[in-house]
């Protein structure tokens, strides 16, 4: 660098020339970097040709009203758009809004054990840091010619496909804030769900391994399936159902609702449509049982169904279930739980094998269980859907009594698929996470 006094003694024409040269040296690298950033578009891959959808980072979706409430507080139910309010004649004071609390986002570990993560698709976490009310629906949906599969024949139906997200020894509902306390779980959906997950962190952070990606940050989890040789068995396909035969009175699933269902305490269970193991592909299952079945090379399936009635007040309860109730498809919900909701079912399909000898669920070996392989089948759900897309599929699939599959929303846009085949394409067996949780 030349001393300032020397430059100032030069003729003005030389001084101006030097300044121009310095400006070029500084600006040219910046111009080059800017040219590499592209035009702000993202490519969303559909089952057909890829579609380039412009992404406007300034686009914001109106924030949904949220109730972050402890057990025992009232949550006024929100009717699915277009429905008839079953409680229209009743009045109740609005619930007090609780301040949001921030919790550590998932960091890849729970403080004790490294999670096994599904990193096969970069799309899983593309908008992981974008709050739910700022997500761009156009970036996470794709255009379609067919909005649904026709009439639901009296049942409003919405389905979405997922892959596993990660395996760890946490349970945000049963053991909140206690990392490593649980048996090994397979998490589906939100990519950062762990012991520290809260309603706010679930809704506003993390990617997702379900259709629509961050539009569905709900967390679904169940005990890991083990092969008895130090591996977890990864499912080939996972389908999540949301259905109701009470579309006129169904209320929207409230943000932050928590549920735990299945055989979490008993020695055994009776296999039925709510909870079972079976064999065969989707739509062709057989050999319904309460144990991990030997399917002679055919698909091995687990079905877990959640209650379809809510008390309208509590997002959780001490046993994580008594705020919910069951009702038959054509029966009204009980007076204690008067609000019908779309019923969630998780259908999990593992690829067939020659033998399931030695296979078990991680929860089968929890202290106090001697119930046989697969008899402790259960699952958890923690709601974290984007409110605007929920209103879309609830109105156009559930309320309209249509049959929507694979992320169809009853409109000319569907949830962006997790991949063209809508199933997991990675290795079927993965080594256990470092360390060992309860019962392993």
Domain contains 243: yes
Would you say residue 332 lies in a domain? yes
Backbone angles phi, psi at 395, to 5 degrees: -75, -40
Range of the domain at 28: 4-34
Do 8 and 114 share a domain, yes or no? no
The three-class DSSP label of residue 233 is: strand
76 and 14, same domain (yes or no): no
DSSP single-letter state for residue 394: I
pLDDT at 391: 95
Query: Could you give the CA distance from residue 217 to residue 382 in angstroms, rounded to a whole number?
Result: 9
Whether residue 43 is contained in a domain is answered as: no
Instruction: Assess whether 20 and 142 both reside in one domain.
Output: no
| 292 shares its domain with 432 | yes
DSSP string for residues in 97-164: PPPP---PPP-SB-SSSBPEE--S-GGGGTTTTS-GGG--GGGSEEE-S---SSB-TT-EEEEEEE-E
Q: Report yes or no on 236 lying in a domain.
A: yes
Q: Is residue 92 part of a domain?
A: no
Q: Looking at the structure, tell me whether residues 28 and 78 fall in a common domain.
A: no
Same domain, 77 and 10: no
Two tokens at 47?
A: 């089952």
- Clarify whether residues 281 and 387 are in a common domain: yes
**Does residue 27 share a domain with residue 173?**
no
H or E segment and range at residue 325: strand 324-325
Same domain, 202 and 341: yes
- Contact in structure between 136 and 392 (CB atoms under 8 Å): no
pLDDT per residue, tens digit, the chain (440 aa), is 433 333 334 444 444 444 444 333 333 333 333 333 333 332 222 333 222 222 222 222 223 333 333 333 344 566 665 554 433 333 332 233 333 333 333 333 333 345 688 876 788 999 999 999 999 999 999 999 999 999 999 999 999 999 999 999 999 999 999 999 999 999 999 999 999 999 999 999 999 999 999 999 999 999 999 999 999 999 999 999 999 999 989 998 988 999 999 987 666 788 888 999 999 988 788 999 999 999 999 999 999 999 999 999 999 999 999 999 999 988 999 999 999 999 999 999 999 999 999 999 999 887 566 668 999 999 999 999 999 999 999 999 999 999 999 999 999 999 999 999 999 999 999 988 765 555 55
In a domain, 96, yes or no: no
What pLDDT is recorded for position 118?
82
Question: What is the reported pTM?
Answer: 0.76
Is there a domain that residue 66 lies in?
Answer: no
> Based on the structure, what is the number of domains in the chain?
2
Sign, Cα dihedral of 170, 172, 177, 182: negative
Tokens 């309010």 correspond to 85
Residue with tokens 């229209």, as numbered in its chain: 88
In a domain, 241, yes or no: yes
Predicted confidence at residue 69, as pLDDT, reads 35
How many Å apart are CA 284 and CA 282, to the nearest integer? 6
Are 25 and 75 in a shared domain? no
Pairing of strands 413-415, 141-143: antiparallel
Are both 274 and 349 inside the same structural domain? Answer: yes
In this structure, the answer to whether residues 17 and 122 fall within a common structural domain is no
d(CA 288, CA 310) in angstroms, rounded, equals 28
């Amino acid at each position: 660098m030349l001393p300032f006094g020397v430059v100032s003694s030069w003729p003005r024409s030389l001084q101006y020339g030097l300044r121009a040269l310095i400006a070029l040296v500084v600006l040219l690298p910046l111009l080059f970097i800017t040219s590499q950033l592209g035009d702000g578009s993202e490519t969303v891959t559909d089952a057909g040709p890829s579609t380039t959808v412009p992404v406007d980072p300034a686009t914001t979706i109106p924030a949904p009203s949220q109730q972050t409430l402890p057990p025992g507080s009232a949550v006024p139910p929100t009717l699915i758009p277009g429905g008839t309010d079953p409680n229209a004649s009743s009045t109740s004071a609005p619930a007090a809004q609780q301040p949001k609390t921030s919790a550590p986002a998932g960091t890849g570990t729970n403080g004790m054990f490294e999670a096994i993560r599904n990193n096969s698709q970069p799309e899983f976490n593309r908008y992981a840091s974008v709050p739910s009310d700022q997500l761009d629906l156009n970036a996470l949906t794709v255009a379609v010619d067919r909005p649904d599969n026709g009439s639901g024949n009296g049942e409003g139906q919405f389905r979405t496909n997922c892959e596993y997200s990660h395996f760890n020894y946490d349970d945000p509902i049963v053991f909140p804030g206690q990392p490593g306390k649980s048996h090994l779980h397979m998490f589906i959906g939100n990519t950062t769900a762990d012991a520290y997950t809260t309603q706010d962190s679930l809704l506003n952070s993390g990617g997702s391994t379900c259709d629509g990606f961050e539009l569905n940050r709900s967390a679904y989890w169940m005990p890991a399936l083990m092969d008895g040789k130090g591996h977890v068995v990864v499912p080939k396909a996972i389908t999540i159902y949301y259905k109701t035969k009470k579309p006129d009175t169904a209320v929207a699933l409230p943000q932050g609702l928590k549920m735990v269902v299945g055989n979490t305490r008993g020695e055994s269970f009776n296999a039925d449509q709510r909870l079972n193991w079976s064999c065969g592909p989707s739509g062709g299952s057989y050999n319904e049982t309460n144990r991990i079945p030997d399917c002679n090379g055919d698909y091995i399936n687990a079905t877990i169904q959640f209650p379809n009635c809510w008390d309208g007040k509590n997002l959780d309860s001490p046993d994580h279930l008594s705020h919910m109730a069951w009702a038959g498809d054509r029966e009204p919900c009980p007076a204690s739980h008067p609000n019908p909701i779309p019923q969630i079912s998780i259908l999990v399909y593992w690829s067939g094998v020659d033998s399931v000898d030695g296979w078990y669920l991680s929860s089968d070996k929890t202290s106090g269980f001697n119930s046989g392989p697969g008899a402790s089948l259960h699952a958890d759900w923690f709601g974290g859907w984007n409110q605007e897309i929920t209103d879309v599929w609830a109105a156009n699939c559930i309320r309209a009594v249509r049959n929507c599959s694979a992320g169809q929303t009853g409109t000319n846009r569907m949830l962006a698929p997790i991949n063209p085949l809508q199933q997991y394409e990675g290795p079927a067996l993965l080594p256990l996470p470092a360390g060992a949780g309860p019962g392993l």
